[in-house]
Structure 1
Amino acid sequence: MIIGYVRKSPSDVNFETRLKLVQQMVDNLRDRSLVDKVYVSVSSHASSPFNERDLNKNDGIMEKLNHVTGNTSDMLEYLQSIDHDICLTSIDFAGIASRAYLVKDLLEEYPIIKKVAIETFISNNEILLLDSQLLLSDNQVLERFDCRKKLIQRSK
């Protein structure tokens, strides 16, 4: 099963713009990665632990999104409750996390995540499919998640 994860950093953009940007990421994952479910964090830092994301109110954005299964907490609950293999996919490395140790912790806590797929269409037009065991055993591969030293300007 392919699970998509969308994360949007906190910013001063207005409600409609944030809704449009998050929905576009959801739609991109559904169209390009053929995900079965999409979980969304509408306002969290890439450097924050997964269990601390989405603790604040989301101002109604989640209710307005189409084709979304839930937030980060819902995803973690789902991963805890199932017994089949998962491929977790996201747009860019920072879409999941910008700290390698957060990814390592996630993979160790949820061993049902067997693969991690990273869409890098923005920078080099490819999808990287990473084996979870390789990520856990090879720090050089895992360090690709240490990717955000400063904010990347994607589009306006």
Structure 2
Amino acid sequence: MSSNSEVVVTHSQAACIFYGEEINPENELLNGAKINAMHVLELYCESQLKEFVDNVFLSVDPCNEKVYERSELSSQQVFQITCQYTTLYKNNKLGTFTNFAKKSQCAIFEDKAFLARNISNYQYRYEEYIKGLKMDGFDVIGYARKSPTEISDDELKEIIKNMISCLQSRSQVTDVYVSPSSRSKSPIAARDMTTDKDYTDKDYTDISGCCIGNTQSLLTYLSSTTKQVCLVIVDYAALSTDPHDILLLVKNYKSLECIIVDRFQDVGKYEVYRRNDILKTPEQLASFDCRPKLPHQSI
């Protein structure tokens, strides 16, 4: 049995752990019956939840096959099993639970092999999600933005090339629109209309073979396409740090069905903002206002 495999207990064994009693056939039967007779079994606080996770999910083999069985689980599966015993995370996503588990130092989430495998599985699941969108008829496109800079055109092209490569490799986009010289707070609708330098579409359409235009080209496409569009960006600032401007973008272009923020390099996850959710609760866009504010100074 591998020392890096997760092990889980059976339902009746978990019942013994829950009641803090020795695990043996008699107690399994009695405590399992207690659990089954209860209408609601709930872990009411995070300290109980941590104890439950630490005792039910182990990252090392306890060498007790009568009590534990081996099973390779993803963090999603750990989350789903745990949610059967608590409503603390009823309306939350996996990320909220894993943040709690890491903050509480739950043993399974401290195991490097478990984390490495879940990172790998997470990327695979994300790629499958993108494939699913495409199969459903979505056009999955990318957008990259670079703030004004004094570097040479060749250096700028290399930076943009790296941005495009990231969108291609992780999010499988085929078309990318680029704003080579605009600030994160600048209105999206006004970008690339005029620039200080001669940035034209032709300058960048040869990069990686998938840069097909600038911001104005993107807006033209969004207004004319009959497809549902998923726009992928790398980090919040790649689109805008003005939540209200993003809300306007979604309101004005009905084809824009969702925005995916690639934060894999930073925090190991992708965030999906769906059109209906944005329009219903625009407050969720507050995450985009991510640039540090200048400190106030007294005179």
TM-score computed with the length of structure 2 as normaliser: 0.48
Structure 1 match to 2:276: 133
Which residue of structure 2 lines up, in the alignment, with residue 8 of structure 1? Answer: 146
Kindly provide the CA deviation profile for residues 21-77 of structure 1, in whole angstroms up to 9, marking residues without a partner as x: 111101110111111311000110111112211122317642552321111110100
Cα contact 2:179–2:215 (8 A) shared by 1: yes
| 1:25 corresponds to 2:168 | no
- Residue 97 of structure 1: which of 232, 240, 251 is its match? 240
Alignment-derived partner of residue 199 in structure 2: 58
Segment drifting more, 60-69 vs 98-107:
60-69
CA root-mean-square deviation = 1.8
Q: CA deviation at 1:112?
A: 1.2
**In the aligned structure 2, how far is the partner of 1:63 from the partner of 1:30?**
15
Match of 2:187 in 1: 49
Find the residue that maps to 1:123 and give its secondary structure.
Answer: helix
Larger radius of gyration, structure 1 or 2? 2
Matched residues, number: 151
Kept in 2, the 8 Å contact 1:88–1:115? The answer is yes
Cα distance, 1:122 vs. partner?
A: 2.7
Matched, 1:36 2:174: yes
* Gapped regions of structure 1 (runs ≥ 5): 151-156
> Contact 2:205 / 2:212 at 8 angstroms: preserved in 1?
no
Q: Secondary structure at the match of 1:122?
A: helix
Structure 1 stretches of at least 4 aligned residues deviating more than 6 Å after TM superposition: none
Task: Provide structure 2 residue ranges, at least 5 long, that are not aligned to the other structure.
Answer: 1-138, 294-299
State the one-letter code of the partner of 1:20.
Answer: E
TM-superposed deviation, 1:15: 1.9
Residue of structure 1 equivalent to 2:288: 145
Separation (CA, whole Å) in 1 of partners of 2:152 and 2:269: 31
- Quote the Cα distance in structure 1 between the aligned partners of 2:248 and 2:234: 20
| CA–CA distance in structure 1, aligned partners of residues 277 and 145 of structure 2 | 24
Q: Which amino acid in the other structure matches residue 207 of structure 2?
A: L
Which residue of 1 is the match for residue 46 of structure 2?
none
Structure with the larger helix share: 2
Deviates more, 1:111-120 or 1:50-59: 50-59
In 2, Cα distance between the equivalents of 1:80 and 1:63? 21
Which position in structure 2 is the counterpart of 1:86?
A: 229
- Structure 1 or 2: more strand by fraction: 1
* Separation of aligned partners in 1, 2:264 and 2:238: 13
Contact 1:99–1:147, Cα closer than 8 Å, also in 2: no
The one of 90, 105, 117 equivalent to 2:260 is 117
Q: Which has the higher contact order (CA 8 A, sep 6+)?
A: 1
Contact 2:247 2:282 in 1 (8 A): no
The 1-side partners of 2:268 and 2:158 are apart by 22
